[in-house]
């Protein structure tokens, strides 16, 4: 009992030290420039909310929030739809082609996207999709499909075939058997697919910087990057922008923490 | 109910009796939409990238000619590119070792039935879900050279964490470890939760101490979690871009350039798209080698289930 108590104290102390950057982040965002210059590490006295209003407008966080949401949500819908359909075939096909296609999809987990980065940039720009939601949605759907297909295929292989077969004996087509019978059974893995892909897409930076930088369609990380570059010396303002930029994902995490941690703990993010 | 049957399944069987005997495997058309998007976004560009790596393409127009291995040999004479390979490997090894070491200690601590364990788990994991660019900006301030502010203010030191070329790389590794130690932790925790408590009880009855139980019971049974953690942190380390780009942009000098920052600059600052793709090819070879091991491992585990 005594040992557990000691460990508890040690772990809480570690957590407090771990949270030091977060303490700095929040206290600085509540200070005016004079306070920051004077006493950077003390508690804000008195706290001010001025930075938040200014940061919201200066970082264009309203429009960015819309852009990030549209891109993330549509990409997720496309990933779940295309990924689960493809996996249904890949998991159930007995042909050599089915196996070959599965290996072809797995190859995408191994290939780092940097290899195709420049030809893809050229392709997207030839199609006139630079600076558009569509370009980003197609990109995320393609780049995350191998991982999504991998998760779904493994899960479907472990499902008994009987449900779908029963529906088919009743006359349902493969399409109906999948959408009405199999897909609802995929709920647990769909949850994992949604969480892992959502965190990746929401926070991704490199590609949206290339495709959306300066277009007016920036996602949150790209807007915050531009904003910090512009107001670099005004720490209170910068930190208010960081707090606001991180808030949606942190709130979502706190609400869904059990599922998020479980999804990541499966250790599959490639 | 009746209406449903009338509209749905029964008549269609009656109309198409062959369906009853049709193959039980779905058609490949199910995979077609996914295959098309995947081919356009990943397969074609990656293949083209492998070709572009051997050209002098400038990125403007279709003008390019084959230069053989010139891009790869140019890399060996390019101080920035060679330095970035060294930096990338050093960063990767440091991050893999420290992130997993810290992650394991946190997991062992949180695994004990502490009253605060649920909160601790959320606290340590939270940075994982935040954008790496934002975490890097936060740490850029924490690494402020001002002796009164940030880490210097806390520790009473006077270090230019990101401005001193001999320290900057380690500071960036620190940012990455702070953000992702909680990720390693939850993977180790999942492994720890899978160890049957009877094994520990049996070892205790046999007189094994804490260290012996860790060494001979916990550690061997954590092997799958360790493999996954090593793979994820290695691939993350090799591809590192966001944190470096936001905190130092490769500086001071070339002290923190990684393969990803150099290939970005070669393409989008200097317009050397062919050369940039050659660097990407080198990065791809590193990452692919590690990912192959990961994939092999995951597929074996899948079979074992």
Q: With contact defined as beta carbons under 8 Å apart, do B7 and A172 qualify?
A: no
Question: B3-12 long-range contacts, Cβ below 8 Å, gap at least 24?
Answer: B8/A171, B8/A172, B9/A167, B9/A170, B9/A171, B9/A172, B10/A170, B10/A171, B11/A171, B12/A171, B12/A172, B12/A173
Least confident window among A255-264, B17-26, B131-140, B157-166: B17-26
Minimal Cα–Cα distance from B51 to chain A, Å?
A: 10
Q: With contacts defined as CB-CB under 8 Å, which chain B residues touch A169?
A: 20
Who contacts B160 (Cβ-Cβ below 8 Å, separation ≥6)?
A: B145, B167
Helices B273-304 and B44-52, packing angle to 10 deg? 130
The domains of chain A are located at 2-48, 54-265
Minimal Cα–Cα distance from A12 to chain B, Å?
A: 7
Q: Which of A7, A115, A125 to mutate to test the interface with B (most CBs of B within 10 A)?
A: A115
Q: Which of B14, B22, B31 to mutate to test the interface with A (most CBs of A within 10 A)?
A: B31
Question: Which is more confident, B109 or B6?
Answer: B109
DSSP A196-257: HHHHHHHH--HHHHHHHTTTT---HHHHHHHHHHHSTT-HHHHHHHHHHHHHHHHHHHHHHH
Minimal Cα–Cα distance from B166 to chain A, Å?
A: 23
- Cβ–Cβ contact B236 with A under 8 A: no
Q: Is residue B29 part of a domain?
A: no
Return the pLDDT at B208: 86
Looking up residue B230, the CATH number of its domain turns out to be: 1.10.3720.10
Return the pLDDT at A268: 61
Q: Is residue B73 part of a domain?
A: no
ipTM of the shown complex: 0.88
Q: With contact defined as beta carbons under 8 Å apart, do A65 and A248 qualify?
A: yes
* Strand, helix or coil for residue B66: strand
Q: With contact defined as beta carbons under 8 Å apart, do B199 and B216 qualify?
A: no
Give ∠ CA B266-B267-B270 in degrees, rounded to 5.
Answer: 60
pLDDT averaged per 10 residues, chain A (length 270): 82 93 89 80 82 88 92 97 94 87 87 86 90 94 93 90 82 85 91 92 92 88 89 86 91 91 72
Question: Which is more confident, B54 or B14?
Answer: B54
| Residue-number span of the structural domain to which B297 is assigned | 83-304
Q: With contact defined as beta carbons under 8 Å apart, do B178 and B139 qualify?
A: yes
Q: Is residue B2 part of a domain?
A: no
CA-nearest residue of chain B to A111? B288
Checking if the pLDDT of B230 tops 60, the result is yes
- Average pLDDT, stretch B155-184? 92
- Average pLDDT, stretch B78-100? 92
Q: Is residue B110 part of a domain?
A: yes
Burial category of B199 from C-beta neighbours within 10 Å (exposed 0-12, middle 13-18, buried 19 and up): middle
The reply to whether residue A267 touches residue B281, judged by beta carbons under 8 angstroms, is no
pTM confidence score: 0.87
Least confident window among B117-121, B221-225, B258-262: B221-225
Tokens of residue A174, six digits: 């493969």
* Rounded Cα gap, residues A201 and A222, in angstroms: 12
Return the pLDDT at B295: 67
The reply to whether residue A4 touches residue B154, judged by beta carbons under 8 angstroms, is no
- Cβ–Cβ contact B296 with A under 8 A: no
- The number of distinct structural domains making up chain B is 1
Return the pLDDT at B24: 65
- Average pLDDT, stretch B128-132? 94
Return the pLDDT at B183: 94
Q: Please tell me what DSSP assigns to residue A39.
A: -
- Cβ–Cβ contact B260 with A under 8 A: yes
- Cβ–Cβ contact B161 with A under 8 A: no
Q: Is residue B288 part of a domain?
A: yes
Q: With contact defined as beta carbons under 8 Å apart, do B107 and B189 qualify?
A: yes
- Average pLDDT, stretch B81-86? 89
Return the pLDDT at B300: 67
Q: Which of A112, A208, A229, A232 to mutate to test the interface with B (most CBs of B within 10 A)?
A: A112
* Rounded Cα gap, residues B267 and B273, in angstroms: 5
Distances (CA, A) of A211 to A72, A135, A139, A155: 15, 8, 10, 34
Checking if the pLDDT of B81 tops 50, the result is yes
The reply to whether residue A101 touches residue B42, judged by beta carbons under 8 angstroms, is no
Return the pLDDT at B90: 94
Checking if the pLDDT of B9 tops 50, the result is no
Q: Is residue B58 part of a domain?
A: no
Q: With contact defined as beta carbons under 8 Å apart, do B28 and A97 qualify?
A: yes
Minimal Cα–Cα distance from B40 to chain A, Å?
A: 8
Tokens of residue B179, six digits: 């953000």
Handedness of CA A135, A136, A137, A142 (dihedral sign): positive
CA-closest candidate to residue B237, choices B117, B143, B98: B98
- Binned at pLDDT 50, 70 and 90, residue B11 comes out as very low
Distances (CA, A) of B145 to A230, B140, B249: 20, 10, 17
Shortest CB distance from A178 goes to which of B11, B26, B225? B26
Q: Which of A171, A223, A257 to mutate to test the interface with B (most CBs of B within 10 A)?
A: A171
Minimal Cα–Cα distance from B142 to chain A, Å?
A: 7
Give the Cβ contact number of residue B133 at 10 Å: 27
Q: Hey, which CATH number is domain A54-265, 1.10.238.10, 1.10.3720.10, 2.60.120.10, 3.40.1410.10?
A: 1.10.3720.10
The reply to whether residue A143 touches residue B42, judged by beta carbons under 8 angstroms, is yes
- Cβ–Cβ contact B289 with A under 8 A: no
Q: Is residue B74 part of a domain?
A: no
């Amino acid at each position: 009992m005594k040992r557990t108590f000691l460990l508890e104290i040690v772990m809480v102390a570690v957590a407090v030290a771990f949270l030091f950057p977060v303490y700095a982040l929040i206290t600085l965002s509540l200070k005016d420039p004079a306070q920051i210059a004077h006493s950077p590490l003390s508690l804000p006295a008195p706290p001010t909310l001025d930075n938040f209003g200014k940061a919201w407008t200066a970082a264009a966080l309203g429009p960015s929030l819309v852009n990030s949401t549209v891109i993330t949500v549509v990409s997720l819908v496309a990933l779940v739809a295309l990924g689960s359909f493809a996996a249904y075939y890949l998991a159930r096909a007995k042909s050599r082609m089915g196996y070959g296609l599965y290996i072809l999809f797995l190859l995408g987990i191994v290939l780092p996207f940097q290899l195709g980065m420049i030809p893809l940039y050229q392709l997207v720009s030839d199609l006139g999709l630079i600076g558009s939601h569509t370009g980003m949605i197609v990109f995320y759907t393609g780049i995350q499909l191998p991982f999504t297909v991998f998760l779904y295929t493994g899960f479907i292989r472990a499902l008994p075939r009987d449900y779908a077969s029963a529906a088919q004996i009743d006359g349902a087509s493969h399409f109906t058997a999948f959408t009405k019978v199999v897909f609802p059974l995929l709920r647990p893995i769909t949850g994992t697919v949604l969480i892992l892909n959502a965190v990746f897409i929401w926070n991704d930076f490199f590609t949206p910087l290339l495709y959306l930088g300066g277009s007016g369609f920036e996602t949150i990380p790209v807007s915050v990057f531009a904003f910090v570059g512009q107001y670099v010396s005004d720490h209170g303002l910068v930190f208010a922008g960081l707090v606001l930029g991180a808030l949606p994902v942190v709130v979502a995490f706190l609400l869904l923490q059990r599922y998020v941690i479980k999804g990541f703990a499966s250790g599959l993010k490639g | 109910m009746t209406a449903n049957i009338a509209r749905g399944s029964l008549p269609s069987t009656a109309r198409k009796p062959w369906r009853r005997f049709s193959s039980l495997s779905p058609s490949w058309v199910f995979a077609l939409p996914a295959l098309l998007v995947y081919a356009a976004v990943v397969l074609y560009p990656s293949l083209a990238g492998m070709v572009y790596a051997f050209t002098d393409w400038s990125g403007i127009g279709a003008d390019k000619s084959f230069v053989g291995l010139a891009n790869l040999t140019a890399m060996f004479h390019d101080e920035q590119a060679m330095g970035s390979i060294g930096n990338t490997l050093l960063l990767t090894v440091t991050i893999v070792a420290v992130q997993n070491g810290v992650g394991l200690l946190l997991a062992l601590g949180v695994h004990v039935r502490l009253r605060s364990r649920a909160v601790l788990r959320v606290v340590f994991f939270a940075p994982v879900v935040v954008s790496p660019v934002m975490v890097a900006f936060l740490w850029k301030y924490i690494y402020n050279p001002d002796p009164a502010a940030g880490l210097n203010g806390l520790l009473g030191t006077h270090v230019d964490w990101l401005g001193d070329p001999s320290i900057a790389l380690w500071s960036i590794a620190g940012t990455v470890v702070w953000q992702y130690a909680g990720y390693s932790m939850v993977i180790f925790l999942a492994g720890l939760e899978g160890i049957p408590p009877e094994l520990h009880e049996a070892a205790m009855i046999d007189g094994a101490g804490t260290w012996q139980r860790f060494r001979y019971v916990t550690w061997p049974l954590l092997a799958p979690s360790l493999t996954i953690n090593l793979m994820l942190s290695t691939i993350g380390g090799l591809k590192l871009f966001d944190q470096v780009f936001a905190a130092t942009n490769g500086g001071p000098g070339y002290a923190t350039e990684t393969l990803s920052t150099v290939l970005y600059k070669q393409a989008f600052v200097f317009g050397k798209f062919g050369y940039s793709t050659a660097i990407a090819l080198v990065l791809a070879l590193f990452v692919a080698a590690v990912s192959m091991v990961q994939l092999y491992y995951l597929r074996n585990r899948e079979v074992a289930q």
